[in-house]
Amino acid sequence: MTQADFLKAPFPAPISLPEAGFAGPKRFFNRELSWLAFNWRVLDEARNPRVPLLERVRFLSISATNLDEFYTVRVAGLRELVREGNAMFSDDGLSPADQLKLINEDARRLMQTQQNVWNKLRRELEANGIALLTRSKLTKRDEDFLADYFLNKVFPVLSPLAIDPAHPFPFIPNTGFCLALELERSADRRRLQAILPIPQQINRFVAMPGGRRFLPMEELLLLHLHSLFPGYRDTGHCTFRVLRDSDIEVEDEAEDLVREFETALKRRRRGQVIRMKITAGAPEGIRALIMDELAVTPDEVVEVKGMVGMADLKELVLDSRRDLQWPSFTPRVPERVQDHDGDMFAAIRKKDMLLHHPYETFDMVIRFLNQAAADPNVLAIKQTLYRTSQDSPIVSALCDAAESGKSVTALVELKARFDEAANIRQSRRLERAGAHVVYGFINYKTHAKISTVVRREGENLVTYTHFGTGNYHPITARIYTDLSFFTADPALGRDATKVFNYLSGYVQPEHLENLAISPITLKPRLLELIAAEAEHARAGRRGEIWAKMNSVIEPDVIDALYAASQAGVRIQLVVRGICGLRPGIRGLSDNIRVKSIVGRFLEHSRIVCFGNGHGLPSKKARVFISSADWMGRNLSRRVETLIETKNDTVKAQIVSQIMAANLADEAQSWVLGPDGRYLRDLPEGREDLFSCHRFFMENPSLSGRGSAGAKDVPKLAHAPE
């Protein structure tokens, strides 16, 4: 079947369920269980033989890190509801206690599978010359090297802690990893219990000479207990790792938001323990002591036969073994930018331009701001910052602009989870440079991605605007698929300015010409567009919706999609993560198909295309990009944007390249069934499975074409240029 045939193929026959099977709350999948299903898909890449070995190790580490964050935020929140006696039910009708029970069962299966996958990967690593050692496998030369390593690089940062009435149990931070010991003094057989916290600032795995053999840090510590506890011998030991409640609550009436967040970050570090992993078969006395001191219950303890702290496996993805990783890929510089000798303003003036990251380099966004900072004709820059890198070139460009006398306004979102401290540092750096820094709203996160540059050109002021679906983060932009839309359209410039005025002055924007924004107009606009497509279908026209995002769980949006399906609208969704919609049920969602793509790059862009009565693809389609997923928080409790792209080339790029390739993908796709299971077909022996990631790496985008624009740029579905 060709890709074009795939896009035209009929949907799978819907299944029939009794009315009670999908009525009321049962028309939704549970959010938390759907997230766990996503992490199962991530873990499955760790056992996918089509994925290079070290990339499989990376996927395993990612699945462990994901699960940690899930516990510290989502599970922590459910536990708090249970403690408060709050019987608030989920959209699918489950109480917090019911959800915790189901999460616990599924997550424990997931963690056991992680161990099984690691055991297989470890054998494959050894077969490829990468070995994880134990103390019993060390040679005399190894021991000599490790003695020097321990003395000079580990011993100075350790704090061995005896546990007795004079030495209280130490504080263990979130994700803290420790070695717990039962010791006996050789001289008089006096017994001692001790904790040896392993500092997070040192590597978990010690690289042996040659860089292909590694010793876990806990093994190194056990090898040198005589240096830490002279005169004692080990009578029993285990490792354990804790996760703490990491949600942050901020007072609504906070007078100084920065100081309030600094205080809240200190509270987070000491949040209640919500899960503890401990070595299976740990000495009963030390296990009981740890549980008592950390106030954890048996159902919060996970006994591990294998590796504790699997997130640390990312250290084994070795730069020296590129042969076991994805082939190298260099992002493209758009031809149109090259045609204008790197002048971003000239390239944007030519016509709207859409860049598809990471296939086209994020350096163009940085160049846009660097050029603005250095240009004497630029008067003002306004920028939102949700997440960015530690040494952010974006922040550097804004500081340069402010120091050169330009008017710079930066909206720094302090509530970006786990980036709060970094954003506080960035905001102070900007203030020192002379930028005007604002923090938006206390009750809403500002998740919109907007940058505006006001430039004097002759007698006029021209506004150049960048709208993104992802963060202004050059590191994640190498692996996240996102869109950057550059335009000099005056209407979009005016809309962006009104959004910044809303953020800095709380003035609700009126008469927006293109943009819809949360929490004011985005959700009503989206529901209106879905309803309009349903009306086209009822009138006998081709109703069709293609959409792509990270999560779909907002009940009103899902119900609108159900209604459109019942009206005859053909709906195809690419949802990487959480999906609360049940596709393929007769009488409810006959015409809805949902797939998830998990592969080399993390799908992150948000797109929605409406056939507008003409089907897809079509020149008359309405095509939007957004910073918002279809979740309650994005549509009601955040500042987000929805932008309609009206340039025909940009529309064709989104519909006929990006969306068509995502829908046609076979190699990385999972299809969601009516029962909530995700299935995929990877037939053995077939090496020609279509991969959208490979397609994007090999083919330039439509709107970035320049003097080479006459070349045939591949599209997967017919659409106008």
Query: Where in the sequence numbering do the catalytic residues fall?
Result: 447
Closest Cα partner for 526 from 654, 672, 625?
625
Task: Report the sign of the C-alpha dihedral through residues 453, 454, 456, 457, in that order.
Answer: positive
- Rounded to whole angstroms, the Cα distance separating 611 from 617 reads 7
Half-sphere exposure (Cβ direction) of 163: Cα atoms closer than 13 Å: 20
Residue 670 phi, psi (nearest 5): -115, 135
Tokens of 282: 């740990």
- Rounded to whole angstroms, the Cα distance separating 709 from 692 reads 22
Instruction: Kindly state the helix (H) or strand (E) to which residue 436 belongs, with its residue range.
Output: strand 436-438
Tokens of 519: 């929490």
Cis link prior to 331 (omega < 30° from 0)? no
Tokens of 639: 């500042």
Tokens of 430: 């900007």
- Rounded to whole angstroms, the Cα distance separating 537 from 612 reads 10
Express the helix, strand and coil content of the chain in percent, nearest 5 each.
Answer: 40, 25, 40
- Rounded to whole angstroms, the Cα distance separating 37 from 602 reads 16
Three-state SS at 702: coil
- Rounded to whole angstroms, the Cα distance separating 375 from 691 reads 41
Query: Cα 481 to chain center, whole Å?
Result: 11
Total residue count of the chain as it appears in this document: 721
Closest Cα partner for 277 from 67, 449, 120, 422?
67
Under 8 Å CB-to-CB from 126, ≥6 apart: which residues? 132
Q: How many helices and strands, by DSSP H and E, does the chain display?
A: 22, 27
- Rounded to whole angstroms, the Cα distance separating 565 from 196 reads 59
- Rounded to whole angstroms, the Cα distance separating 68 from 275 reads 9
Task: Report the sign of the C-alpha dihedral through residues 654, 657, 658, 662, in that order.
Answer: positive
Tokens of 22: 């999908």
Question: The tokens 């070595």 sit on which residue?
Answer: 279
Q: Which amino acid is at 607?
A: I
Alpha-carbon distances, residue 65 vs 100, 175, 238, 328 (angstroms):
19, 10, 22, 25
Alpha-carbon distances, residue 671 vs 37, 453, 579, 609, 614 (angstroms):
12, 42, 12, 20, 26
- Rounded to whole angstroms, the Cα distance separating 464 from 646 reads 16
Residues 459, 465, 471, CA angle at the centre, nearest 5°?
A: 155
Alpha-carbon distances, residue 340 vs 111, 547, 705 (angstroms):
53, 34, 12
Question: The tokens 């049920």 sit on which residue?
Answer: 585
Residue 703 phi, psi (nearest 5): -75, -15
Q: Which amino acid is at 79?
A: R
Closest Cα partner for 412 from 391, 380, 436, 396?
436
